[in-house]
Amino acid sequence: MSLLLEADPCEESVNSYLWAQNGYCFAAMHDKSIVGVCIANPIKGEDVVEIFNVSVTPSLQAQGIGTKLLSYSLEQLASNGVTRVELGTGSFGYQLTYYQRLGFRVDAIIKDHFLDNYSEPIFEYGVQHKDMLRLAIEL
């Protein structure tokens, strides 16, 4: 749970997608320990999934683990018949460029998502996250 909370600070939110039926969980391992995780669940039939969480142990970030994990996850999803992957992220910050480097594109904006759905404000670079960008990639 602590690793998942690195990417999504709301335990209630994490629990809402962690135990979904027919979901996918991919893990990155190092020295027999899980150091990265990617959780995805079907949202519009079996061929469209949403990635709800991608997280890497903080001390191992910026070493390519997350990129390899997400690339592997996308390959595995495609091999399971998934044709589209969606996700939500903040409207700025390193997560946005991380996903864009892998081919995700902005699909929609959800105004005030982080204000309406999180009890504690989320700040990055001294700026509060308010709106969510919905990103998508066709596989």
Tell me, what's the pLDDT at 104?
97
Q: How far apart are CA 117 and CA 65, in angstroms?
A: 29
pLDDT over 80 (residue 7): no
Greatest mean pLDDT range, 90-94, 110-114, 122-126: 110-114
pLDDT above 70 (res 9)? no
Residue span of the structural domain in which 13 resides:
2-138
Number of independent structural domains in the chain: 1
pLDDT in tens, 14-30: 777 877 778 899 999 99
Confirm if 63 and 100 have CB atoms less than 8 A apart. no
- What residues are paired with 41 via a beta bridge? 50
Q: Does the structure show a pLDDT above 80 at 10?
A: no
What pLDDT digit, counting tens, does each position of 74-95 carry? 999 999 999 999 999 887 878 8
CATH of the domain at 30: 3.40.630.30
Strands 123-124 and 33-42: unpaired
Cα–Cα distance measured from residue 42 to residue 81, given in angstroms and rounded to the nearest whole number: 11
Closest Cα partner for 94 from 71, 72, 124? 124
29 pairs with which residues across the strands?
Answer: 34
